[in-house]
Structure 1
Amino acid sequence: MLKRGPVWAVGAMSGTSLDGVDAALLHTDGEVIAEFGRHAYRPYSGAERACLRAGLGLWQGDPGVEPVAELIETVHAEVLADFPEADMIGFHGQTLAHDPAGRGTHQAGSGAVLAEVLGRPVVWDFRSADVRMGGQGAPLAPYFHFAAAKWAGLRAPVAFLNLGGVGNVTWVDPSQPGPEVPGAVLAFDTGPANAPVNDLIRARRGLPFDEGGALAAKGRVDESIIAGFLTHPYFYKIPPKSLDRNDFHTLLAAVAPLSDADAAATLTAAAAAAVARGAEHFPHAPIAVYVTGGGRLNETLMSMLSARLACPVAPVEDIGLNGDMLEAQAFAYLAVRVARGLSTSGPSTTGVAAQVGGGQISRPNTGR
């Protein structure tokens, strides 16, 4: 039983960019952000990233899943052990496959194992309940984005754009009393973000990513590829909607004939074009788009976004938030909401028919 008022929770996130594990403390009652705490980052080694890449696309019970799950549990236990002050843990796991209209969603790693190892309650499996009820199971950070906008003292509509492997955006009206109120939030995946260009750079240059967008800055965008990309059926769907990391795998084939710089520029432009197309769905024009995730450090991508969007584009640090840790903080926030019986998603975030409180709680010694 949680004590009344704000509690300290630590959230952990391993995203589709496969770069490492973020962990961050948050002091919250599951509604209001009282305080941000310390945080940590543990990068994956080359061998660990290779193991994770080998697991992409696999489902529960498939051959090859067990080593990935063990790796995720081991690395997360290592990181989270350094946060003994946390009353509880929010554990997302590693998304390997996401097909909400078909087989569902699969995040590797067991919160029950972590609860035993760490000796504290772990909230995990955040997406399955939403998918079972007909939702997309993603994105899950919007209710936290609403709380973050309130914490930052914002009063007019803004958008939070997360650029990880896949892009997702939350349009927020912080003048509303809560995220569950109709018209308070709208969220959806925009399209591919860092994943295609990361895969390109790894395959062609043996590097993990295009640092700062330096290579893309030297290239020329192939506008015919962008035009073809924007005809993908996904862009014609009304949000909420979500994607798997590999849903736009044909992009890499499309840029195969291009030079390294032109291919990087074109893939970076595709990420920006997808965001601009998504912005057409916003209920009202935001006063700004605040960018989180690794993509905000890509100067070329940020410049392309500014050119395509009709409002200022800035990193979330401009309003006092931490763009490296926002997703980890979100799962700390969601963990407390689950423990308090509050909803974690709704019709305007995942398309689920009603408010859903996703996630299960595993406690040490019981695994339940």
Structure 2
Amino acid sequence: MTNRPSLDDIRRAPKVLLHDHLDGGLRPATIADLARETGYDGLPAADPDNLRTWFAEASDSGSLERYLETFEHTVGVMQTAEALTRVAYECAEDLASDGVVYAEVRYAPEQHTRNGLSLEQVVEAVLKGFADGGRDFGIRVGTLLTAMRHQARSMEIAELAVRYRDAGVVGFDIAGAEAGYPPTRHLDAFEYLQRENAHFTIHAGEAFGLPSIWQAIQWCGADRLGHGVRIIDDITDRDGERPQLGRLAAYVRDKRIPLEMCPSSNVQTGAAKSIAAHPIGPLRRLYFRVTVNTDNRLMSGTTLSEEFAKLVEAFDYGWDDLQWFTVNAMKSAFIGFDERLELINGVIKPGFAQLKWRSHA
């Protein structure tokens, strides 16, 4: 393909991010600063450059469990209201500088109460950071409150999400190691959210296979799937002329259930062998509701623009493909229909049209 989108041009494109963890996107310099300020002494390195290298190497193991261990240090420095507000504010700045116009950023409030903060104080501190950052950098950020699937606080966190949904919390999520902790353990929380007309996504089909996806959708009623890469296991002859979809894959496609795919992270955790072999290729060809995301920008050493650039390189995507992913994400966001439509028609499509025109000029 000629006129391939370059990384610089992709950074200028108005992008939408649905799957990004607040504790997975800290700046190394901020981690070092907060460790000094809060007295956290467990860092593997004190210098920001060395910290960045350590996180990259520790995250690139091919194991989801090892990948999750790196969060002990980022969460460790996020135990005060001031730290949470700073991290959220800088997250908004970093995303805006990468051309993201709308983002949903998730975090687990229960992980930030070690020094005495209440769940409400945690949520309010993060909301303040995003509100200030959104105002200063021109980005809209909604938050998802995450419950850890190996704990027993999902109902408490679900109630918290509903309580703050008019203040910037747009949805709910469960995360953590999938094996041994099926989403049905938290069925009461999902049923409560459905009764409250609230939105939720579930990490499923990343480290575990089709049963995880099936439970998330058919038992729990997930609006979206966090990752969902293993849906590819229900498609045969997927690289041939006539791929055959199993019943679950056909249901996911027919119902337009969004897949929050994170290419670099999926490779790091072993959910995909490489970017070129990532299921996003065949799933895009089959018109699943695929979205592109970062997951953890620090651990994966990435940005949303870089994720798109890797897909351009691997699959020869052009501007139409990148716009398709972006519109998919905006359609799948947990904000109101009018707001989504305004961003699609007023920001995303005009922004991509200008970039496409420039590339052909």
Structures share fold, TM-score greater than 0.5: no
More strand by share: 1
- TM-score, with normalisation over the residues of structure 1? 0.31
Higher relative contact order (CA 8 A, sep 6+): 1
More helix by share: 2
